[in-house]
Amino acid sequence: MKTRILMLSAVMSCILAGNAVALTKAEYDTQKKQVSADYKVNRDKCGSLKANANDICVSEAKGAEKVAKSELESQYKPSAKHTRDVAMAKADAAYDTAKEKCDDLAGNAKDVCVKDAKAAHVKAKEQAKVVQASTDGSANKTANVKEARKEANAETREADYKAARERCDSLAGNAKDTCQADAKAKFGM
């Protein structure tokens, strides 16, 4: 459910970012300086944290900076490519932070956490590609959207399969074999 909400918010952000009013050069430069200042403030807040909590905080600060820069670029030079870049930056930031959060775990639980994070990342990236194809103004728009959806479904299915297969690794014997067979059947692998 959480993944679906993240994907929906990423798609809506892409759509809304594409409709934003372009910035002037002066506004762009001012906001770019503000993004850098905000990053420094957010990063400094991480200094009091220890171990992995610090790593998570730094990852969140870096992610917020990357997303803000992408959104700023999209506002300055609106295009389907920049809208896609915003969605990709959000996906990358969420993925990097999720991987850092997985570091608190160990063994198979950590492996599953990383695979789940990767699956969510793949889904978000592929959805961004579909959104870009749907906003493309080319003559082959319908064919491009259809192909992008096909590729997105295949990539998403494969990532979900890998995460499911990783969950099976915590099992042994017949239970593991059954789990792997069920994952193959569910995801068509």
pLDDT for residue 5 is more than 70? no
- Of 176, 179, 175, 146, the closest CA to residue 161 belongs to 179
Query: Which own/partner contact pairs does 143-150 have at CB distance under 8 Å and 24+ positions apart?
Result: none
What is the number of other CB atoms lying within 10 angstroms of the CB of residue 37? Answer: 10
Q: Which ranges constitute the DSSP H helices of 21-172? A: 25-45, 51-76, 80-102, 107-135, 141-168
Residues, the chain: 189
CA angle 102, 114, 65 (to 5 degrees): 70
pLDDT tens for each residue of 70-126: 999 999 988 888 888 999 999 999 999 999 999 999 999 999 999 999 999 999 999
- In this predicted structure, which of 20-34, 119-133, 145-159 has the lowest mean pLDDT? 20-34
Q: Show me where the domains of the chain are located.
A: 2-187
d(CA 164, CA 186): 10
- pTM across the whole model: 0.76
Mean pLDDT for all residues in the chain: 86
d(CA 187, CA 77): 40
The tokens for 176 are 């593991």
Who wins on pLDDT, 30 or 15? 30
pLDDT for residue 30 is more than 70? yes
pLDDT for residue 33 is more than 90? yes
pLDDT tens for each residue of 12-27: 454 444 444 678 889 9
pLDDT for residue 162 is more than 90? yes
pLDDT for residue 2 is more than 50? no
3-state secondary structure 43-58: HHHHHHCCHHHHHHHH
Tell me the CA distances in angstroms from 153 to 89, 112, 148, one per residue in order: 21, 21, 9
- Say if CB 61 and CB 43 are below 8 A apart: yes
pLDDT tens for each residue of 37-68: 999 999 999 989 999 999 999 999 999 999 99
What's the pLDDT score for residue 154? 92
pLDDT for residue 139 is more than 80? no
